[in-house]
Amino acid sequence: MADILTLHNQESLIMNILVLSDLHIDTCDNFGTFQWDEMDLIMQIESLRDTYNIDKVIFNGDIYELIKYRLDDIRKANPVLMRYFRDNDFIFIKGNHDLVSDDGLDFYEITNSSGQIIHIEHGHNADWLNGSRIGRLIGKLGLSLLKSVSRCRLAMKIYFKIVAFEEQINHIPKNYNTIKYLTYALKLLRKYDVVILSHTHKLESHHTYYLNKKKRYLNSGTCSLGRFQGILMNTETLKYELIKETKESVKNSYHISYAIQ
């Protein structure tokens, strides 16, 4: 590996990436939407890393469900997964459900050897609350309020009760207007060659041309409700594959490969 890197004369040439998002990891209670067994999810990620020679795994936001739970409680409920995250050199990008977390990037970019740029961000900036100046101000106020309230256990308890109640009324997951995110992506594609968003929980891919350059917009879908969706991409050729599995199909494929051996 070291030899290959020196040959390219580049310290961190990332070739194959795996983008996953919207896990919404919870405390495994009845209101949660993660619905994964920690080990099953880790096995699936590891099997893809192995099969496709993945250099970088990128988690594109809404990794934790911090609108409904405290990070400490999530960590306690998923110790193996948290250790796996800590021990690996993964990239974590913030989404609107884990904005309050102290770590995580706003976006991540990779420039390949031909100068093409892959831009990865969660996508909630396309929403009115996060995309307009007044919306951002309201969001910021809400966030700082949430941060100060989160120091008080009782206030948080009441807050989470309200969220759970609100959720029952609004029946999430909502139907997203995916055209809004496509429009947002197209704007970004004036500057970038590939834009990868998440947030909508809709796995999709589109391509178009701008000044004769091929542009790609991909959405990594979700890994919530026991689904396993994501994007594999070679950053040099920009060839990609969409992954669409479920925890059941993942389990079955292990049984099959085990049977063949």
> Contact residues for Mn ion (CB under 5 A)?
62, 95-96, 199
Which CB, 56 or 122, lies closer to Mn ion?
122
| CB-nearer residue toward Mn ion: 199 or 247 | 199
CB of 199 to Mn ion, least distance (A): 4
Q: What is the nearest approach in angstroms of Mn ion to the Cβ of residue 23?
A: 11
Question: Distance (Å, rounded) from C-alpha 106 to C-alpha 53?
Answer: 26
Q: Is residue 182 classed as helix, strand or coil in its secondary structure?
A: helix
Which residues touch 10 (CB under 8 Å, ≥6 apart)? 113
Rank residues 82 and 129 by Cβ distance to Mn ion and give the closer one: 129
Q: Which residue's structure tokens are 């992506």?
A: 185
**Residue 10 backbone phi and psi in degrees, to 5:** -140, 135
Least Å distance between CB 152 and Mn ion?
Answer: 26
Q: Determine the residue with CB nearest Mn ion.
A: 199
E strands within the chain?
16-20, 56-60, 91-93, 107-111, 117-121, 194-197, 203-210, 213-220, 227-234, 240-246
Our CB check for Mn ion shows the closer of 56 and 123 to be: 123
Shortest separation between residue 251's beta carbon and Mn ion, angstroms: 27
Q: Which helix (H) or strand (E) holds 251?
A: helix 247-260
Q: Shortest distance, CB of residue 201 to Mn ion, whole angstroms?
A: 8
Nearer to Mn ion (CB atom), residue 112 or residue 229: 229
**SS3 state at 196:** strand
